[in-house]
Amino acid sequence: MCLVLCAPIRTQGQNPEDFARSVAPMLTGTCAQCHNNNVASGGFDASTLIGLTGTNSMTQHRLEWEKVLRRVQSGEMPPASATKPSESALRAFTNAIQAELGRMDAAVKPDPGRVTAHRLNRNEYSNTIRDLLGVEFHAEKYFPTDDSGDGFDNLGEILTVSPVLMEKYLNAGERIARWAISTEFPPKPIADEYALKDRKVRRVDPSTIEALHRVEFAGEYTVRFGLPGERAPNGAPVILNLWMDGKLLISKPVETKPSGLIYFDPYSDEEVKVYLPVGDHVFQAGFTNDDFVKTLAPADFYNNKKNKFLNSMVFIGPFPSNVEKESRRRVLVCNPESGRACVERIISTLARRAYRRPVTSADTASLMKFVDMAKADGRSTEQSLQLAIQAMLVSPNFLFRIEHDTNPTNPADVHPISQIELASRLSYFLWSSMPDDALLALAESGRLREPATLRREVARMLADERSSALASNFAGQWLETRNLDVVQPDPKKFPEWNPELRDAMKAETRNFFEYIVKENRPISEFLNANYTFLNERLAKFYGIEGVVGSEFRRVELTTPQARDQRGGVLTQAGVLTVSSYASRTSPVIRGKYVLSNILGTPPPPPPPDVPNLNEAAVGISGSMRQQLEAHRQNAVCASCHSRMDPLGFGLENYDAIGHWRTTDGNFPIETAGTLPGGRTFSSPAEMRAILSLELPQFSRTLIEKMMTYALGRGIRDYDRRTVESIHQTLTADGGRFQTLIQQIVESLPFQSRRGEEVTESR
């Protein structure tokens, strides 16, 4: 952890002699004790850096100097066992290195890097289809998982297209085009049943069930709910609700008697009539105002003699409706039966939005060929439009975000991206989706790059509900909470784990992140916030009283127990679960998590042939800590574990699903630790307080993570100047989150690109 005050980098006015005066003595007197020709600890020999002038050493060994700077800033180096220089000497050492790096960077032409053609990943594809056509399409159901790099699945260089994926794009395009335009109906209503007995329904909580249902035809539907069990009148109105994609569709009282009391007959059902749009939708049905269930023991929730509960949903339809499909309203900007001019207008209007740029006459003509081909085959005008839309959805202009270089093979040709390209960078950064009409119009008018206009657009887009994609896609990958969908804690050791608890964990982190974004809170609150977002289920799991109901709300951590046990993302159950094994905690994984995602100093991969931990002995013949301390007797393991393990031990009060505990099997939890550099702590709260002192390092890590996500490429050496500039501006503004976003959007790498050096093959 950073034990020095990291002063702002000075690239102007720094005396070059400072490098020799402040850096060389540290290398020879401190670093060389462990990093020399004979003992190159960690594979680093400081003698390779000694004796060179600042600029020459930086030029020849840039990567090594970056590592040295990071290790000293983090407090990892020099270790507590080494002769400890004074804080002023450490500060002078890091300042001189930063200044030399800054001078070297300032002497070369800024390099914005380049992004390869960027295929839409699954989330971007789904969101773009939603915003383009008003059709809900869950790409994760149909397309293979996207590869990841540098922690994110939106990097252009890894988003390849396989023959299998291309075939799935063709099938998806056909289905989506039909969903968007078609008004066809099946000859008779269809009944689709989702029941617990068939495992097509999952329980969200004792009062709510959920099913994923694909609506092939828009129209009116009867939705019937199965309600087994019986319950005596309890004097409270019980309301049955149906939600679609998180939005309430309809509510109705269940079997209300004239007296207003509720009486449940055994084996009953209820039904509602609603209009359903086409697409893949998540439906939830559940009771509200149901105080009776709170009087039951968990074992009686689904007891037919003691409770009435939901166990099935049946969708019956479609039936004719006077409601016009939203997708048809978006696509049919005029009556296609009025003539060819209208069809061309429909095609060009939709293509402009799908391709995210002005369309040419050649674009329109190419798509009109599909209309003509379908009509020649005897299809109707609307069916012909469907074929053109299908062709549009498999076009590289839709599937890829393609940016153009005037000199694509000249790496010295640095140039601003076009404003149209800037609009797409911005929308896929903040929304994981296409630009809306307002953003695209500003780009076409040439006004988007105006500083005041760009700042207003960023603020507008962050206020839009589509910015929730930042929480789902950026925070979900940065904090790894997207992995909650696939983790499977041991049900014997953690019987309370269920979908309701998992969803609550995801919602806590998502709401927490969205609050920091929307309210423009300082990034320090990721480490030390005195609040979180809870519903009743998660509050009980945390032992926090006074939270009632399934809705999430901001909860202040006011009691001493709550402040000691929770605060910031590292104590959120979702983060603690994804950084554990299925059956036990792992201080190593949690320590690595903190180093990688919070402090930006990931450890190297473990060496081969490292002996495994004795799993059977954990909690029986020794605590996890005792097992790892024995494990660290291996000198090969000790260097990395001395960094990771103290951080992991500091979180050992939380079990593998984030529940607070004081013992590990038969042994008391020991959380005390000493971090590299000498700072000590005795509890998770004290460890968080130490991490909060490392805000400069966390700031740089978060900047690099968000730049990677925003640019769709990994961070390179030439991005350091931008990272430092953003860090200084962010620090001066109190670490406000929206300042971070604004600075990334205004940065050279975000707004510019260059050609690529091409090496001739021989």
Same domain for 84 and 215: no
294 lies in some domain? yes
To which residue do tokens 């695209």 refer?
A: 440
Same domain for 194 and 92: no
Burial grade of 580 (CB within 10 A; 0-12, 13-18, 19 or more): buried
- Is the per-residue pLDDT at 636 higher than 80? no
Q: What's the rounded mean pLDDT across residues 538-558?
A: 94
Q: What's the rounded mean pLDDT across residues 32-49?
A: 73
Please give the residue that has the higher pLDDT: either 293 or 742. Answer: 742
Q: What's the rounded mean pLDDT across residues 318-330?
A: 92
CATH number of the domain enclosing 223: 2.60.120.260
720 lies in some domain? no
- Amino acid found at 361: S
Same domain for 653 and 541: yes
Give CA–CA dist 252/238, Å, rounded: 9
What are the residues whose beta carbons fall under 8 Å from the beta carbon of 107, sequence distance 6 or more?
A: none
Give CA–CA dist 508/573, Å, rounded: 9
Supply φ then ψ for residue 224, to 5 degrees: -110, 135
Q: Tens digits of per-residue pLDDT, 144-179?
A: 999 999 999 999 999 999 999 999 999 999 999 999
438 lies in some domain? no
Structural domain that includes position 548: 486-685
- Amino acid found at 157: E
Q: What's the rounded mean pLDDT across residues 214-218?
A: 93
468 lies in some domain? no
What are the residues whose beta carbons fall under 8 Å from the beta carbon of 614, sequence distance 6 or more?
A: 627
Same domain for 532 and 660: yes
Chain centre to alpha carbon of residue 110: 30
Same domain for 194 and 102: no
Same domain for 196 and 100: no
∠92-94-99 over CA atoms, to 5°? 90
Alpha carbon distance, N-terminus to C-terminus of the chain: 49
Give CA–CA dist 119/398, Å, rounded: 9
Chain centre to alpha carbon of residue 107: 37
Provide the domain count of the chain: 3
Asked which of 58-72, 117-131, 148-162, 454-468 is least confident by mean pLDDT, the reply is: 58-72
Chain centre to alpha carbon of residue 17: 45
Q: What's the rounded mean pLDDT across residues 703-718?
A: 96
Count other Cβ atoms within 10 Å, centred on residue 104.
Answer: 18
Please give the residue that has the higher pLDDT: either 462 or 12. Answer: 462
Same domain for 101 and 195: no
Query: ω into residue 560 within 30 of 0, thus cis?
Result: no
Among the candidates 52, 82, 106, a domain finishes at 106
Q: Is 234 helix (H, G, I), strand (E, B) or coil?
A: coil
Long-range CB pairs of 454-462, under 8 A, 24+ apart, other chains included: 454/745, 454/746, 455/742, 457/426, 458/426, 458/430, 458/738, 458/741, 458/742, 458/745, 459/738, 461/426, 461/427, 461/430, 461/431, 462/430, 462/517, 462/518, 462/738, 462/741
Same domain for 219 and 96: no
> DSSP assignment, residue 8?
P
The neighbouring-strand residues paired with 522 are 736
% of the chain exceeding 70 in pLDDT:
87
Q: Tens digits of per-residue pLDDT, 256-266?
A: 454 444 455 66
Q: Across 352-356, 608-612, 672-676, which has the greatest mean pLDDT?
A: 352-356
Supply φ then ψ for residue 679, to 5 degrees: -70, 140
Same domain for 194 and 80: no
Q: Is 19 helix (H, G, I), strand (E, B) or coil?
A: helix
Nearest to 241 by CA among 265, 230, 225, 258: 225
Same domain for 633 and 524: yes
514 lies in some domain? yes
150 lies in some domain? no
Q: Tens digits of per-residue pLDDT, 332-362?
A: 999 999 999 999 999 999 999 999 999 999 9
Same domain for 661 and 550: yes
Please give the residue that has the higher pLDDT: either 154 or 55. Answer: 154
Same domain for 208 and 95: no
287 lies in some domain? yes
Burial grade of 619 (CB within 10 A; 0-12, 13-18, 19 or more): middle
Q: Tens digits of per-residue pLDDT, 394-424?
A: 999 999 999 999 888 888 899 999 999 999 9
Among the candidates 685, 712, 746, a domain finishes at 685
Give CA–CA dist 273/295, Å, rounded: 32
Among the candidates 264, 294, 324, a domain finishes at 324
630 lies in some domain? yes
Q: What's the rounded mean pLDDT across residues 609-623?
A: 61
Supply φ then ψ for residue 552, to 5 degrees: -85, 140
